[in-house]
Amino acid sequence: MSRKGGDHEQQPVRRMESPRSSHGQAIARILKTFRPEDFDLEEGFLLQTFTQMKGCGCKVPRPILLNLLKTFGATPSVANGGVGIGLDSCVVPLRHPGLKLVQTTDFFYPLVDDPYIMGRITAANVLSDLYAMGVSECDNMLMLLGVCKDFSDKQRDIVVREFIKGFKDTAAQAGTEVRGGQTVKCPWLLLGGVATSVVTDEEMLRVDRAVPGDVLILTKPLGGQVSVNSYEWLKTNDVRMREHHLDPKKVLRAAQQAMEQMCRLNKNAAIFARKYDAHACTDITGFGILGHADNLARAQKEKVRFVIDSLPIIEYMEEVARAMNGGNGFNLFGGTSAETSGGLLVVLPEDTAEEFRAELEKKESFPTFNIGRVIAAIEGEENGACMNHRIEVVPVPSSIHSSAIPINE
């Protein structure tokens, strides 16, 4: 692996004050840091301990899942008027001419300490599957909730209230509403949702049109799994903090940076992906950048390979990952470290890619990343994605600690 300078290195971006934005409120809450006592919960109450798995990292591993899904007699495919299992949303032609139903569901377990922020992340994460199809308007959301059976009545009431608030605030930010759901008791606190949209063909992207020469744009940096895990070690005074000589301040800062981007909607990215007629698009969640890039590459009509040349990573998470498991904690550098509510991976021709990046960065005041390219598959080679063996790691500093808050929406 090498590291070099270049167009990936990011300067902190200056943002305008706009105190009423919904995302700005989320950032303010993140930076304040969550204190259970402020919510009438006992000191030391830690949401993440009500599960043994975190966020999208709880997914059944991809090879096992693909095998299990064989029962459906379907392989993952892009659903342009057809059937798609395993790639973001499913798309169903309706009985009503010209209209398609696009919908998705996701559920997982808590990965940060603040139930309100967890509600925002959960909603942003489920909506992201619509955005990955270029669908920017959601018609309805359902909320899925497994209330931890080990909660006291008081813990249950406070956690559920804050979670619902966060979920609802992000739904409102997305311009939709939560109009139903299901609540059961569960050993772990289980959080999720369903997002549905009814669209015309013009309101969604065809995401199977990548061609050699296209570039891969990622709209949020990686390292989410490293960040939420090291943050939990910090909160629980875990031995790994000392074992790996981790800097508590840097761990906290990275966790806040991760929380911000997990709360951030991929809606603008979807709007611009459609505006610039992206050739392909997906969002990065449990299978990591490589897993999702691979899924997307396999769904392309042309014989193509996606090559990932660089990994933009939340600042300090490279150091944490290098300190662990023989220098590759969570397989961060192998590309399969899980993200929750990660960015969109948008495939565009090289020239429009730069326009797309410029417009999205201007709108959101957060950096985007050119992480790779589309090449032609060699004769007989299957479609897929791979990592450049000389992959470049690009640390991405926090934007929310260094400049005015909050951002535009």
Site string for a second copy, 48-67 (x = CB under 8 A): ----xx----xxx---xx-x
Nearest-approach distance from CB 406 to a second copy, in angstroms: 24
Q: 55 — alpha (psi -120 to 50), left (phi > 0) or beta?
A: left
Nearest-approach distance from CB 235 to a second copy, in angstroms: 22
- Closer to a second copy by Cβ: residue 177 or 381: 177
> CB of 141 within 8 A of CB of 125?
no
- Closer to a second copy by Cβ: residue 156 or 303: 156
Site string for a second copy, 115-134 (x = CB under 8 A): --------------------
Q: Does 194 bind a second copy (CB under 8 A)?
A: yes
* The only residue of 27, 90, 205, 269 in contact with a second copy, by rule CB under 8 A: 90
CB within 8 Å of 319: residues ≥ 6 apart = none
Rounded distance, CA 10 to CA 345, Å? 18
Q: Does 187 bind a second copy (CB under 8 A)?
A: yes
Site stretch for a second copy (CB under 8 A), options 8-16, 87-95, 330-338, 362-370:
87-95
Q: Does 142 bind a second copy (CB under 8 A)?
A: yes
> CB of 7 within 8 A of CB of 367?
no
> CB of 325 within 8 A of CB of 225?
no
Q: Does 84 bind a second copy (CB under 8 A)?
A: yes
Site stretch for a second copy (CB under 8 A), options 174-182, 315-323, 365-373, 400-408:
174-182
Tokens of 50: 């009500």
- Closer to a second copy by Cβ: residue 84 or 312: 84
DSSP annotation string for 96-108:
STT-EEEEEEEEE
Q: DSSP code of 287?
A: T
> CB of 76 within 8 A of CB of 298?
yes
Q: Does 189 bind a second copy (CB under 8 A)?
A: no
Nearest-approach distance from CB 174 to a second copy, in angstroms: 14
Nearest-approach distance from CB 92 to a second copy, in angstroms: 5
Q: Does 97 bind a second copy (CB under 8 A)?
A: no
Give 370's strand partners. Answer: 217
Q: Residue 254 in 3-state DSSP?
A: helix
Of residues 231-250, those binding a second copy (CB under 8 A)? none
Q: Does 29 bind a second copy (CB under 8 A)?
A: no
Nearest-approach distance from CB 383 to a second copy, in angstroms: 21
Strands (E), 298-396: 304-314, 344-348, 369-376, 384-396
> CB of 13 within 8 A of CB of 361?
yes
Q: Does 291 bind a second copy (CB under 8 A)?
A: no
> CB of 185 within 8 A of CB of 290?
no
Q: Does 31 bind a second copy (CB under 8 A)?
A: no
Query: Exposure pattern of 91-115 as b/e (b: 16+ CB <10 Å)?
Result: bbeeeeeeebbbbbebbbbbbbbbb
Tokens of 49: 């301990």
Q: Does 271 bind a second copy (CB under 8 A)?
A: no
Q: Does 299 bind a second copy (CB under 8 A)?
A: no
Strands 280-283 and 344-348: antiparallel
Q: Does 83 bind a second copy (CB under 8 A)?
A: yes
Rounded distance, CA 297 to CA 9, Å? 26
* The only residue of 96, 239, 245, 378 in contact with a second copy, by rule CB under 8 A: 96
Size of the site for a second copy (CB under 8 A): 63
- Closer to a second copy by Cβ: residue 75 or 183: 183
Tokens of 311: 């990994």
* The only residue of 164, 211, 375, 386 in contact with a second copy, by rule CB under 8 A: 164
* The only residue of 21, 46, 49, 165 in contact with a second copy, by rule CB under 8 A: 165
Q: How many CA atoms are closer than 13 Å to the CA of 364, on its beta-carbon side?
A: 25
56 in catalytic set = yes
Rounded distance, CA 6 to CA 10, Å? 9
Nearest-approach distance from CB 146 to a second copy, in angstroms: 7
Strands 215-218 and 369-376: antiparallel
Straight-line distance from the first to the last Cα atom of the chain, in angstroms, rounded to the nearest whole number: 36
Q: Which of 56, 90, 138, 148 is catalytic?
A: 56
Residues in touch with a second copy (CB under 8 A): 52-53, 58-60, 64-65, 67-69, 71-72, 79, 83-85, 89-90, 92, 94-96, 99, 101, 103-109, 137, 139-140, 142, 144, 146-147, 149, 156-157, 160-161, 164-165, 168, 177-188, 190, 192, 194, 196, 198
- What is the set of active-site residues? 56
